[in-house]
Structure 1
Amino acid sequence: MSKNNNSPSTTPNFGSGSTATQQHHNNNLTGVEHIQFSEQVDKALEEVLPHKDPFDTSLFDPIVYINTNFPNEQALNEKLESYIIKVKKKIQRVDEDILAAVRKQSSAGVQARKDLEEARDTIQSLFKKIHEIKSKAEQSEQMVQNITKDIKSLDYGKRNLTVTITTLKRLHMLVSAVDKLTLYTQKKQYKQVAELMEAVNELLQSFEKYRNSIPKVQNLFSRFESVKKTLREQLFQDFKSLDAHKNSGRENVQQLLSEACLAVDSLGDAVRTELISQFVKSRALHVYDMTFREGKEESKLERIADRYKWLLKVLKTYQEQFGDIFPDYWCVPQEITIEFSLMTREAIVRMLQNGKDLSGKTLYSVILSTIKFERDMQERFYDPDEAEILVDIQQQKKLLEQEEKALKELSMKVEKGSPESDEILKKQIKITLKRRELEKQEQEFTKTSSLDSLLKGGAEGAIAAEKQKKKPKFKFNLIGFISSCFEEYMNVYIEYEEESMRETLAKIIQKETWDMNSEYSSSQDLFMYIVESMKSCSALSKKRTLFELVEKVFKKYLNNYADILMHKLPKIQSIAQPTTVATTGASTTSGTTASQGASSLMSRLGMGNILNTNEIVTTDKKAKLTEKEEMLVFYIINSADYCQQNIEMVEEELRETLQEPYCDQVDLSDEQGKFYLLLKSGVEVLVNNLMNVMEKQFTEMLSISWAHVDTVGDQSNHISVIMQTLKDAIPFLARFLPTTHFKFFCDNFILSFMSTLTSCIYKCKKFSPMGAQQMLYDVSCLTKFCLRELIIIGDPNRFDKDDVASFSKKVDIKAQKIECILRTILQPNDFLVGTYLQYAGSDHSVAELTKILELKDLQKNEKQQILENYQKEVKKRQQGSQQEQNNSTSSSSTTATSGTPGTTSLTIGTATKKMEQVVSSSMSFIKKFNLNN
């Protein structure tokens, strides 16, 4: 064991030693290799063998243990000797326990070997007994086989005799049944034939394997096939001769043929299908081709409804004449309808292929009649079974669960008590009521369902099975059976709708008065037409046709209407931007008149021959709007707002109406965005018009020689006029603009006004200190007493406090930029840079400071010196910011505290030596004991 670790200079400071140092001390103290188990193993050992002794824990640290027991030198001197005696006694007890355990284990080993020998002898004895039992069992089995050998032969003989007797009885029954079947067929006793046919089929199944090996059986099969052939021919002949008994003996014939249907059923599905098909073509629909022969007036496409009426008469005649003959589960009326639909579909396809001048109006009428016919027939014939009804209920419940989950997630994002929250609550209540209704229907249907009775035995089960057997098996879906043939020709309908909408839009624009006071609105009429057109088309198709109508017609004419409104919007030039027309999308080239622009627009929209260009002609660009033109701008803004909102509603309605996959492909966001652009352009026209009204006051401000102003007085005259102009104009604008768009107008006006004011300040060239002070006072009065309260001028309750505070904050931010310019001018050269950086904040630049210095009467070298000071100050602030960041990063790291050297190290070293001696003595004793044993 190395002694270097015990010297005071190398003893670690307790409480801050590293893991490696602690492990090294552990090894020195014990003198043996320290085994470190994993955390999971230590945890498992602690659960099995819980310990209280600190020496037993895997995290035992001798240094920490010594520091705990001897915190200082005084404690070491007073307690060390007594502690060592205590540890030695403990070690002695442990040694004694170990010795006793070893002796006990030695005696237990001897006893264990003795028990093992006894168990081995017992197993061998048991194995011998099992072998003897197995041998005796085999002997007993052989004895039983010898006893029952004769009995088995008798049993086989009895079984063969029983089979022979049964077979002979069945053969006799089969012969008798075939004879009776032949006789009943000749006498046309079809009810008895049907009953015997089922019995003969069942008997023949048991002789199927002897069909080709026994001549007698082969003969019976041949006779039966001959009887079936004769019966089939006789039945078909009886149904053909039905018309011969129209007057005399019809009741007897109906009774005969009604029983004949039972015989047809016994011959199999193929015979029944052939008979029904022959009846439908030769009896029910034999005059169809003659009635609607090509070239006749009734055969024209526009008279397709006559064919559907004709079928209703055929079905009525069938019910009167043949309803008592054919059973319901044969579904003869349904088969008549299917055959009629196939023939009508072929006729329609031929007419569509040959119809060169097919009009959209005719096509719409034909499709509407066809769809109505299909729905009527579907409702009349289609009878869903129990399983389909249950599946439909389950699907509805699943959809309700999905909708309820979506509403629950949405409610978590919406503030409680808000209108949106109330709306969600109403929808959740409706879903709950609907789910309860579905559950009630499901319970009632389950009680009356015949599916339960089918699972029961006895007479009840037989009756239910018979009902299921007799139930109509008609499962054709008549929806789209005929109307699907129109899909390839729906472009004609789309073209018809496009032409109709083009004419409608032209009429709407012709009727438009462009007057806010008029009750008529072209935008309302346009959307009424779109909604009606959408409803009409959805009655025909909720898939591709409706989707194409949206893509090719609705979108096109919404964009056309937006272009017309944009062209109608007056054009005005802003004093802030003298070379640009503010109305986006409404500008015309300098050489083109408004009339030429309108004519070009009408030609592009395809309305040149329908709409007079005077209806949408606009005046050329001008500086100010007349009152009538202002009202026109208000009207266009409100129309654009109406269209924007209704486009969203139409899109939602289309998503609910269209079927997969088209419902997710509807997107009218571009059209909505175009009307928003129109609305924005209208607001910009109003902003520029108001700015142009105040053009004279801005010109007056530029005419003042600010460099020679030597006193500061009350606010300037042009500022008073501007404030009065705004106080007169704002209530007028607020009266005709929707609240949200009025706020949008105010936001845009502040941007334009502050930009123009800043530009004018820079154009004033030079400012004296008093001139800058006067300008600062003017701006302060204008901001404080007018601009900050712009949105509530004329009506303090127009907006709530939060909206007013938010708007005032925007105004203050813009005003601060102007204040920065003027306060920088007022400062002496030494303080100018600091003042500029203070008011400019992070939005400062050399270019802006250079422009500000041009407003101050300075020499060139003074300007250069100020700019150099600015760059130095900016660099200095950047370095200071970087240094603060570095200090913040370094302060987050901490250093380990060190212990106190000196007497403590000496004390710990002494304690460590004595503890090592005690532990080494104990380990030597244990090793010696193990070697001796």
Structure 2
Amino acid sequence: MAERLTVEFCKITRRELANIMLKRKNEIDVKLLRFAIEKTVGFEIIVEKRFQGNTLDHANNPITSHLNVKVTNTNGNDDLNLTTNLKPKSSPFQGIISQCFEDHLDIYIAELDRCLDDQIQKFVDELKKDGYPKFEGSEDTSNVVPTSADLFVYFRNCLVQCSKLSTGQSLLLLVQTFQKYLREYANRILTANLPKIIAESIQILIQDLENACESALTAMTKLSWQSIETVGDQSLYVTTIINHLKTIAPVIRNHLGSSRKYFIQFCTTFVDSFIKKFINHLYRCKPINIIGAEQVLLDTHSLKTVLLDLPSINLTVSRKPPQNFTKIILKNMTRAEMILKVVLTPNDFARQFVKSYLQLMNNDGDISSFQKILDMKGIRRPEPAHLIERLKREHATIIASHQQQIQQQ
């Protein structure tokens, strides 16, 4: 009798709560809803400890009908005639009252939606303030965006809370909310910063290739260029660099097979950085005699030819590289060639030598570059000071003439 009275009380309470919430839905907030659910579930736990649920009609009760769900043996053995529950038996009083809150859990989901929106905005603000995290190239490094871990921890906490309130339609709504904010996170944080990630990744690849070529460039500076007597085939250091390019570049190209623009970006950035480094090492080839300068000029031409073919290196069918890529190589490698041609220019007559320098170097009046070339030629003091003064005067004359032409136009 006590159990029957309790069951009837639960039914009446569920019905009345449902009516009240329907009439006063606009007054329900998340805090009140969670409080009511927690108290109701607590009461159901007390009831299930006190009663067995023998008076409940499980078959016709939508709340407890899951307790009698069975499956029949399908292995063809009629003698066994086995039946089994789909899941372990649960309390017959579970949800007997609290099910009435199911239709109002959209309030809880809406609140989670607002909280997740605030959380994504917080991630965006932190990104603007602190910048995108820099990843290391080491295989032992876990390159995970910190905020992504924070987001999934937040998801887990939401899922735990919601599963305590409902495992029905509300849980499905929660999953859809998760999907919404995963897309938000991807668009506002990951995709928005993808160019930065790509740029950092490309820079790591460039550093690896440059490091592979570094020993060859160092070997170039250690050769006794003032003792070279004949010009031969390309030098060993150039062959070493070319071999590195032919080995590493195709591997990177294959891994970026579906993203040619990123491979071209890699090639363009690499050649720009490498040629500048090559020129810096070129200045360190001192002193260098005429034959040595001719050999390095041949080496420079060989290297330029390979660099121009870098995007298609080792391919059976080559594709024409972008104009900007070709322009960078021609401009910078031409400068390297002009440096060597200045070295080959006699300096017996200061004025003629300086004029030849300005002509070959496109009127570059930089004193530092000029001094480096004089060091390559092995010109000793006090002659460099005299040549530098001559350069200043000749360059000033060119600038004045150029300004006058502009004024006349």
Question: If the length of structure 1 is used for normalisation, what is the TM-score?
Answer: 0.29
Q: What is residue 551 of structure 1 aligned with on the other side?
A: 121
Q: What is residue 871 of structure 1 aligned with on the other side?
A: 392
Map 1:147-546 to 2 at 5 A: 296=13, 307=18, 341-346=22-27, 351-352=32-33, 354=35, 369-370=103-104, 483=107, 490=111, 493=112, 537=113
Q: Which residue type is aligned with residue 351 of structure 1? A: L
Map 1:8-87 to 2 at 5 A: none
Instruction: Call closer, same or farther: CA 1:341–1:709 in 2, change over 3 Å.
Output: same
Structure 2 distance, partners of 1:851, 1:546, is: 61
Contact 1:766 1:855 (C-alpha < 8 Å) held by counterparts:
yes
Q: 1:848 aligns with which of 350, 369, 383?
A: 369
Structure 1 distance, partners of 2:406, 2:147, is: 66
Aligned residues between the structures: 309
Q: 1:734 aligns with which of 240, 253, 256?
A: 253
Q: What is residue 213 of structure 2 aligned with on the other side?
A: 694
Q: Verify: 1:809 aligned to 2:304, yes or no.
A: no
Q: Deviations over 1:244-294 (max 9, x none)?
A: xxxxxxxxxxxxxxxxxxxxxxxxxxxxxxxxxxxxxxxxxxxxxx9887x
SS in 1 for 2:309: helix
Q: Deviations over 1:332-379 (max 9, x none)?
A: xxxxxxx97433444667733746979xxxxxx99994498xxxxxxx
Structure 2 distance, partners of 1:603, 1:550, is: 9
Tell me by how many angstroms 1:870 deviates.
Answer: 0.7
Map 1:797-836 to 2 at 5 A: 797=317, 799=319, 801=320, 803-829=321-347, 830=349, 831-836=352-357
Q: Verify: 1:789 aligned to 2:309, yes or no.
A: yes
Structure 2 distance, partners of 1:347, 1:675, is: 43
Structure 1 distance, partners of 2:354, 2:38, is: 83
Structure 2 distance, partners of 1:861, 1:837, is: 21
Instruction: Call closer, same or farther: CA 1:732–1:356 in 2, change over 3 Å.
Output: same
More helix by share: 1
Q: Verify: 1:566 aligned to 2:135, yes or no.
A: yes
SS in 1 for 2:233: coil
Structure 2 distance, partners of 1:807, 1:350, is: 62
Q: Verify: 1:717 aligned to 2:285, yes or no.
A: no
Structure 1 distance, partners of 2:204, 2:144, is: 23
Contact 2:135 2:143 (C-alpha < 8 Å) held by counterparts:
no
For the aligned residues, what is the CA RMSD?
Answer: 4.5
Instruction: Call closer, same or farther: CA 1:862–1:550 in 2, change over 3 Å.
Output: same
Structure 2 distance, partners of 1:835, 1:366, is: 94
Contact 1:823 1:835 (C-alpha < 8 Å) held by counterparts:
no
Q: Deviations over 1:9-64 (max 9, x none)?
A: xxxxxxxxxxxxxxxxxxxxxxxxxxxxxxxxxxxxxxxxxxxxxxxxxxxxxxxx
Tell me by how many angstroms 1:806 deviates.
Answer: 3.5
Map 1:591-606 to 2 at 5 A: none
Structure 2 distance, partners of 1:699, 1:344, is: 78
Tell me by how many angstroms 1:600 deviates.
Answer: 12
SS in 1 for 2:288: coil
Contact 1:787 1:811 (C-alpha < 8 Å) held by counterparts:
yes
Instruction: Call closer, same or farther: CA 1:876–1:367 in 2, change over 3 Å.
Output: farther
Structure 1 distance, partners of 2:101, 2:398, is: 79
Contact 1:570 1:685 (C-alpha < 8 Å) held by counterparts:
no
Q: Which residue type is aligned with residue 695 of structure 1? A: E
Contact 1:709 1:771 (C-alpha < 8 Å) held by counterparts:
yes
Q: Which residue type is aligned with residue 273 of structure 2? A: S
Q: Deviations over 1:615-665 (max 9, x none)?
A: xxxxxxxxxxxxxxxxxxxxxxxxxxxxxxxxxxx99x86xxxxxxxxxxx
Q: Deviations over 1:736-781 (max 9, x none)?
A: 0121111111112112321221121122231111111111111011
Instruction: Call closer, same or farther: CA 1:726–1:348 in 2, change over 3 Å.
Output: closer
Instruction: Call closer, same or farther: CA 1:348–1:718 in 2, change over 3 Å.
Output: closer
Tell me by how many angstroms 1:706 deviates.
Answer: 0.7
Q: What is residue 919 of structure 1 aligned with on the other side?
A: none
Q: Which residue type is aligned with residue 711 of structure 1? A: T
Structure 2 distance, partners of 1:842, 1:672, is: 45
Tell me by how many angstroms 1:674 deviates.
Answer: 3.7
Map 1:128-139 to 2 at 5 A: none
Instruction: Call closer, same or farther: CA 1:341–1:812 in 2, change over 3 Å.
Output: same
Q: Which structure ranks higher in relative contact order (CA pairs < 8 Å, sequence separation ≥ 6)?
A: 1
Instruction: Call closer, same or farther: CA 1:880–1:681 in 2, change over 3 Å.
Output: same
Structure 1 distance, partners of 2:311, 2:382, is: 47
Q: Which residue type is aligned with residue 24 of structure 2? A: M
Structure 2 distance, partners of 1:823, 1:756, is: 19
Q: Verify: 1:773 aligned to 2:306, yes or no.
A: no
Q: What is residue 857 of structure 1 aligned with on the other side?
A: 378
Q: Deviations over 1:171-204 (max 9, x none)?
A: xxxxxxxxxxxxxxxxxxxxxxxxxxxxxxxxxx
Q: Deviations over 1:559-610 (max 9, x none)?
A: 99x75x924x328xxxxxxxxxxxxxxxxxxxxxx78xx7999899669x9x
For structure 2, the residue ranges without an aligned partner over 5 or more in a row are 1-8, 40-98, 154-179
Q: What is residue 749 of structure 1 aligned with on the other side?
A: 270
Contact 2:365 2:392 (C-alpha < 8 Å) held by counterparts:
no
Q: Which residue type is aligned with residue 550 of structure 1? A: I
Q: Deviations over 1:683-709 (max 9, x none)?
A: 122212122222332232122111222
Contact 2:217 2:281 (C-alpha < 8 Å) held by counterparts:
yes
Q: Verify: 1:704 aligned to 2:223, yes or no.
A: yes
| Bigger Rg over Cα | 1
Tell me by how many angstroms 1:791 deviates.
Answer: 0.8
Q: Deviations over 1:837-870 (max 9, x none)?
A: 2232255411211122111121212211111111
Q: Which residue type is aligned with residue 827 of structure 1? A: T
Structure 2 distance, partners of 1:849, 1:744, is: 32
Instruction: Call closer, same or farther: CA 1:733–1:346 in 2, change over 3 Å.
Output: closer
SS in 2 for 1:694: helix
Instruction: Call closer, same or farther: CA 1:741–1:366 in 2, change over 3 Å.
Output: farther
Q: Which moved more, 1:547-556 or 1:719-728?
A: 547-556
Contact 2:124 2:189 (C-alpha < 8 Å) held by counterparts:
no
Instruction: Call closer, same or farther: CA 1:347–1:809 in 2, change over 3 Å.
Output: closer
Tell me by how many angstroms 1:832 deviates.
Answer: 2.8
Structure 1 distance, partners of 2:379, 2:263, is: 45
Structure 2 distance, partners of 1:549, 1:604, is: 11
Contact 1:694 1:722 (C-alpha < 8 Å) held by counterparts:
yes
Structure 1 distance, partners of 2:213, 2:344, is: 28
For structure 1, the residue ranges without an aligned partner over 5 or more in a row are 1-289, 301-306, 312-338, 359-364, 373-482, 494-536, 538-543, 572-593, 610-649, 655-665, 889-933
Q: What is residue 72 of structure 2 aligned with on the other side?
A: none
Contact 2:225 2:285 (C-alpha < 8 Å) held by counterparts:
yes
Q: Which residue type is aligned with residue 118 of structure 2? A: E
Structure 2 distance, partners of 1:349, 1:689, is: 55
Q: Which moved more, 1:741-750 or 1:695-704?
A: 695-704
SS in 2 for 1:713: coil
SS in 1 for 2:382: helix
Identity across the alignment (%):
21
Tell me by how many angstroms 1:827 deviates.
Answer: 1.0
Instruction: Call closer, same or farther: CA 1:570–1:352 in 2, change over 3 Å.
Output: same
Contact 1:789 1:804 (C-alpha < 8 Å) held by counterparts:
no
Tell me by how many angstroms 1:787 deviates.
Answer: 0.7
